[in-house]
Structure 1
Amino acid sequence: MLQESIALGELKATAAMERRRGAAVTRAQALEVRARREGAALDKVGRAPSAGLLIAEGDSWFDYPFHDVLKGLEDLHGYDVESVAHKGDRVEDMAYSDGQLDEFTRRIEKMIRRGDRPRAVLLSGGGNDIAGDEFGMLLNHALSARSGLNRRVVEGIIDERLYDAYATIISAVTEVCQQMLGDKIPIVVHGYAYAVADGRGFWGGGWILPGPWLEPGFAQKGYVHLDQRQPLVRELIDKFNAMLQKLKAAPEFTHVRYVDLRADLQTYPEDYAIAWANELHPNAQGFATVAARFAEQLRELSP
């Protein structure tokens, strides 16, 4: 027990050090970008030109304390972002619950009505539909004859529920833009990178978004070691990314762009603390990497 406590303390200390290192990198990058923008040509009222206007809906990857994808796009890449993203939201909630989709489309309508045309619409979600209290339902027990992911359950959640929810959101946004602008606005979605089910929560499991979100389900179903867990995490993340690729390939969604992040963040058994703050969320350096991949995709869009 004492050795476990010492190991846990060392892990927390390492994670804290990496968060500080990542935050320092991000601040340095922000200062560099700000300096470049201040040295660029100014508009008529003396402001540095914007890289474009974005509007976003999503989960904690778009709404995370201190640093997230949207903050990176604003601070490091010069975009102006309007967001209705909220940490903890599920894609099904965004599509069907509490008027969230109506609020999102109304925000887009107001933006267009005042003469602002978004360069793109950004969507993030799916992690909260899979991870958390019910994560164990996706797993067969490690000692059962069919250990591993329960493929029927996984396919039902990812290929049916999440696909349909994403399609509902994208269709509603597309309809608003076509009605008000006469054409479609690019919609950018992203797949998650390979998370690490090591039991780390937000700030050690306190405050908001406490976590962990994967370890309890794995432990409940008899998967004790990371070597057992990580192949299943990779398989799950691959299935989620495949769903988004299928969505993008639909004939009615040719304006959808997809960002594949699986090769961009270090993962187990590498030194994954360089990029990950906890089981599901990158640290400052990791989010800066993800924001750069979004910016790369956005630069490829027609002005």
Structure 2
Amino acid sequence: MGRVYGPNDFEEPGEFCSALAIGDSWFWYPNNNILQTLVRHQHTSGDHANIRRVGYNGALLQDYIGSGRYAKEVRHWLSPNFNDGFSEFYISGAGNDAVDYKLALKPNCTGITTPSACIDQAGMDELLRKVSEALGALIHNIRWAYRNDSLTRPIFIHGYDYPTPDNRGAGFASGPWLAPAMDAKFVAQDMALRFGIMKILIDRLNDEVFSQFDSDDNEIYHIDSRGTLKHFPDNHKTDWTNELHPTSAGFRKIFERHWLPVLAEHGIAK
């Protein structure tokens, strides 16, 4: 079993981190997350079971580039003195960007009964543009760090599954995130309508942003997790701890169905 190291943790004697993970709460959620599932899983190769993690809960993709609040940490680990040991990269982001951008909803959804009609199309386009721009810049910075190296290191982009906006928070002074954003825009208390809005958002992030970077030639891989976990109208609480984060079993389900096959192709898992 490996370990997830924080940005300021020292590696244990004899250990090294093969991956740099840059991401939000799906990489940081307490007790369990995608990275913890990866390093603990019996099929993860021992040579790839230690990960260096930067970012934080609530981080935006923009936080990792330019003058963003975690950009300095990213630059530190991509600098020549520290980047030599990384053979792969993991990126998770855009969920908090969407929440920060009020889910790209119209200012007032009163009386609206269809999910697409509640979306501010210009706002959605701007959200997707900003996410794509930040993700592209982050990928560029990773590739730039190894521009003189003949080895192309794979980059894995994590896509989200469909959350149900049921107004459940994390229980440690965090969240809920989705239901309050909808309440602020006067979205009707209709879970079918509210889930439909989230489905549109997740589909557009995956289809119009993440998948556009997917390229075998460039060794960039979009890990598409949609449709894995239960969601409205099913009993989604068996797979989701709250509005945004899966249970431990939910994270494992996503990892085994979607991450493992891709990682196995690169010798990261067996």
Give the TM-score category using the shorter length.
Answer: 0.7 to 0.9
With normalisation by structure 1, the TM-score equals 0.73
Q: What residue number does 2:6 align with?
A: none
Identity %: 24
Determine if the alignment matches structure 1 residue 148 to structure 2 residue 156.
Answer: no
Q: What residue number does 2:20 align with?
A: 55
How far apart are the structure 2 equivalents of 1:101 and 1:184? 22
DSSP 3-state at the match of 2:151: coil
Q: What residue number does 1:96 align with?
A: 66
Letter in 1 for 2:165: A
Q: What residue number does 2:187 align with?
A: 222
Structure 1 residue 57: deviation in Å?
A: 0.5
Determine if the alignment matches structure 1 residue 187 to structure 2 residue 155.
Answer: yes
Q: What residue number does 1:108 align with?
A: 78
Deviations 1:190-242 (A, max 9, x none): 21100100101112xxx24x111110122232321101111111011000001
How far apart are the structure 2 equivalents of 1:143 and 1:136? 18
Q: What residue number does 1:283 align with?
A: 247
Q: What residue number does 2:137 align with?
A: 168
Larger helix percent: 1
Determine if the alignment matches structure 1 residue 135 to structure 2 residue 102.
Answer: yes
Deviations 1:170-190 (A, max 9, x none): 0010111223x3332110002
How far apart are the structure 1 equivalents of 2:70 and 2:167? 31
How far apart are the structure 2 equivalents of 1:217 and 1:53? 38
Structure 1 residue 254: deviation in Å?
A: 2.2
Q: What residue number does 2:210 align with?
A: 244
Structure 1 residue 294: deviation in Å?
A: 2.1
Following TM superposition, the consecutive aligned residue runs of length 4 or more in structure 1 with deviations greater than 6 angstroms are none
Determine if the alignment matches structure 1 residue 201 to structure 2 residue 165.
Answer: no
How far apart are the structure 1 equivalents of 2:228 and 2:125? 25
Gaps of 5+ in 2: 3-13
With normalisation by structure 2, the TM-score equals 0.82
Structure 1 residue 99: deviation in Å?
A: 6.0
Structure 1 residue 168: deviation in Å?
A: 0.2
Q: What residue number does 1:14 align with?
A: none
